[in-house]
Structure 1
């Protein structure tokens, strides 16, 4: 689904769903010079190519007949062009002025205009790995390249009407750590209290969520209620900055750089807006909802953004921003979480076991293993490389927990078939007999399943840089090296292997050493990342993550913004039902009214 979509594909033919309300015109349009009395042959008619089908926003949002219709719309609404237009449309909001104002100082800073915006960004590790493989650098240096482009003196700020830049650039790995800790606890709680049916299914992949909501609502009770790292990063930035700077969330514009196009869908969900987390007494129901993530672009669109600004990414410094280029984050505790001084390293082998999609399953297994001394993790490959089963085995040989990983829609279809509820037999005299659905019976043995739409995981997202793009991006010598290392009929698979290596590999000792004058030793450094002193005395470290520190942070964040963690870190999912072609009561809105109301919501939804 997401692997074939890009902004450049919008002029291609889009095959409508079975119940599409806009039929495709197949007859050629008659010209003015056509003689109605002329007899023509069939071959002459066929030589006239009909215009490509045009499916608009109002056509697609009217139904759920096409799985990809909403994607095509949102690709056009969220693109590198939208980033440039927004940067050129609003003056920058001076954070230092707001901080000084709170302290009763001016220090030469002037009051920003009322339409000023604070620009912030979040970057996923898969994007950094894609750029690292492209330019032949480490994943960490790719992070420096991105922040120099978004925030540095040689990046986006050199052009545009207002010379805007992104004030804070954060790594989604920080929010991911919170998601991993909360996700493991969610599974433990559901097993102990049976609050959810087994297995719990990952909810971090929007392509998989869209598929489940539209076509397999029976799996919705199995979904984890956690937000994804992208969504949690957006909520954290919008709530913390609006609270500490005393500004409205609409004054903060958040860009997320992600590996797949489906993340644009996620950013448009109505549940991921300020209406979900703002206190009811402070929310104006008549105002439009403010998204936690305003725009999503992919790795390839990041290259398009640089090209549109005339910037060569390979020419940017591969080091952190200097202290003079950084703006202090308004809250030191939030800053310490978002911009840690030291990265949490794992070995390449550990990263490979965790997978390329965040390591949800691996963290859960390690958490349970820590509670059962002497237990071991058994790994067994399934029918293909994207299906893997895991078992936590006690020293006695007893199986303590079974989990699985399902990547790619072909495998996901097998999974959802196994999860179908039993259906009533239609045989005569067997009204009460229940027969299991086809293929069911084994999926309920799993406590947890990590589900991702892309084969190979998130490093293979549809928005990642492809092998064909490298030839156009890089100088001839470098592109030849890359193409030669990934050539032949399986060139894209070989290229994905290079991206995975960049994602899994720990940086060299030379690369991890950062001189004091170069800035703090962090992947994204334009925050006040040197602040320490918040470590707890008791530490439980799982796969490099200090669980106690994560809980301390969530408690502090919740108290700071006066919003419970249940509103900050969790979300909901819903069944999407198409009523196209169905008889609707007269009391319901007409299709035209319903389309207009949906199209007018900035919060959107699928």
Structure 2
């Protein structure tokens, strides 16, 4: 995929009705044009999040589709085509087939993917767990550096920002490059999976990495941009070859004449199919924070976190915060109050970033998701006009 392709994921048709609604939902000010005039996207500012797309009343904003690339790979006998599915897809896919919002289509989704011809069907939850372990461990290293624990002098600064939302990461890169040392170095679950798919998986299946075509089904149009980033080549090949949105998967199922309702419930393939379940809550704002904190708590304290009150960080308020008291085993059980913040909607993060850069922030960990409510409302999800 060319960089030019990646830079133009979201496009406004020349049939634009100039209603100006898209400018009100764009988190980065990437859409130019006045009321009554043709609008266009400045791709240097665009986060590829697709919020303008799902909110366009005229439905004339589109994302570039990778469906043809996927169909070509499925038809190529020389390609071993695998697919991963994000947790948010399973509770949205059913809407494309007349199911009520929130219907869990997980089993039928796996069955439909096999019907489409994928050689292996996997769940992204496994590599979401890897992301959590990486982010949680990295947070611990930063905390130890902050409290002066020897051996952690080269760790990054606090607070640590999450890194699994590609739209948020691009926003930081474009607007606040000085904040990047605070952003976790962990890849997103999609890209963690791609790295495993092109390195470990070929060894297990005795397949050349070049022969594997890795597809993601995601609730997010920005994932199409993320998979094309030049650093995402763990094996020397593009880790994730193509991304389908929830809407595009539904369209492929319909084009293939698959009767979704009559499909049996099937499970994902067992290899990299196991997970703790923490990844299931990734798709909602605050989910990444909760999962990472549980990991950090257990590693720092040496004991399981049986229950924690996260009511303050759950919900849809743009910015929420909470404090978790963690006893640190390496410091003789001294309790560290870990203060966290959750931001849903990138446009609300600027003030927090400016506080960090000015040395005014007392947070340890900040989760940022670009889309309101999290991935469940991503730009690749079903578009509902009755809501």
Give the shorter-chain TM-score range: 0.7 to 0.9
Q: 1:409 aligned to 2:346? A: yes
Residues 1:391 and 2:323 are matched in the alignment? yes
Q: Deviations over 1:234-288 (max 9, x none)?
A: 1111112333444432210011000010000110011111xxx34xxxxxxxxxx
Name 2:66's counterpart in structure 1: 79
Q: Which residue of 2 aligns with 1:243?
A: 203
Q: Secondary structure at the match of 2:91?
A: helix
Contact 1:256 1:293 in 2 (8 A): yes
Gaps of 5+ in 2: 1-7, 23-31, 54-61, 147-154, 328-332
Counterpart residue number, 2:215: 255
Aligned partners of 1:388 and 1:405 also within 8 Å: yes
Shift of 1:174: 0.7
Q: Distance in 2 between matches of 1:460 and 1:467?
A: 11
Q: 1:87 to 1:262 in 2, by over 3 A?
A: same
Aligned residue for 2:178?
Answer: 218
Q: Contact 1:377 / 1:393 at 8 angstroms: preserved in 2?
A: no
Cα 1:306–1:11, aligned 2, differ >3 Å: closer, same or farther?
farther
CA distance in 2, matches of 1:8, 1:302: 20
Alignment match of 2:44 (pick from 60, 65, 68): 65
Output the CA distance in 1 between the equivalents of 2:356 and 2:206: 47
Cα-to-partner distance string for 1:543-598 (whole Å, 9 max, x where unaligned): xxxxxxxxxxxxxxxxxxxxxxxxxxxxxxxxxxxxxxxxxxxxxxxxxxxxxxxx
Give the secondary structure class of the aligned counterpart of 1:135. Answer: coil
Q: Matched residues in 2 for 1:7 and 1:79: separation?
A: 13
Q: Which runs of 5+ in 1 are unaligned?
A: 16-22, 25-48, 92-115, 157-164, 279-288, 330-334, 422-439, 469-486, 492-606
TM-score in terms of structure 2 length: 0.74
- Please report the TM-score for the alignment, with normalisation by the length of structure 1: 0.49
Report the Cα offset of residue 400 of structure 1.
1.7
Distance 2:260 2:127 in 1: 26
1:135 counterpart (99, 109, 117): 99
Q: 1:388: Cα distance to partner?
A: 1.4
Are the structure 2 counterparts of residues 391 and 264 from structure 1 closer, same or farther at C-alpha, using a change threshold of 3 Å? Answer: same
Distance, in Å, in 2 between the alignment partners of 1:417 and 1:229 is 28
Whose strand proportion is higher, 1 or 2? Answer: 2
Deviations 1:452-476 (A, max 9, x none): 10110111111111223xxxxxxxx
Alignment of 1:530-541 (within 5 A): none
Aligned match for 2:255, one of 295, 298, 308: 308
- Trace 1:16-95 onto structure 2 (pairs within 5 A): 65-67=44-46, 75-76=63-64, 78-88=65-75, 90-91=76-77
8 Å contact from structure 1 (residues 234, 293) kept in 2: yes
The equivalent residue for 1:179 is 131
Change (3 A) 1:191 1:345: closer
- Structure having the higher Rg: 1
Q: Is 1:359–2:287 an aligned residue pair?
A: yes
SS at match of 2:239: coil
Instruction: Tell me the matched-pair count.
Output: 338
Q: For 1:145, which of 98, 108, 114 is the aligned residue?
A: 108
Contact 1:377 1:390 in 2 (8 A): no
The equivalent of 2:383 in structure 1 is 466
Matches within 5 A, 1:141-540: 142-151=105-114, 155-156=115-116, 165-194=117-146, 195-273=155-233, 277-278=234-235, 290-320=237-267, 335=271, 338-340=272-274, 344=276, 356=284, 359-370=287-298, 371=301, 377=309, 380=312, 385-393=317-325, 400-421=337-358, 441=360, 443=361, 445-468=362-385, 491=387
For the Cα contact (< 8 Å) 1:6–1:463, is it kept in 2? no
CA contact (8 A) 2:9 2:48 kept: no
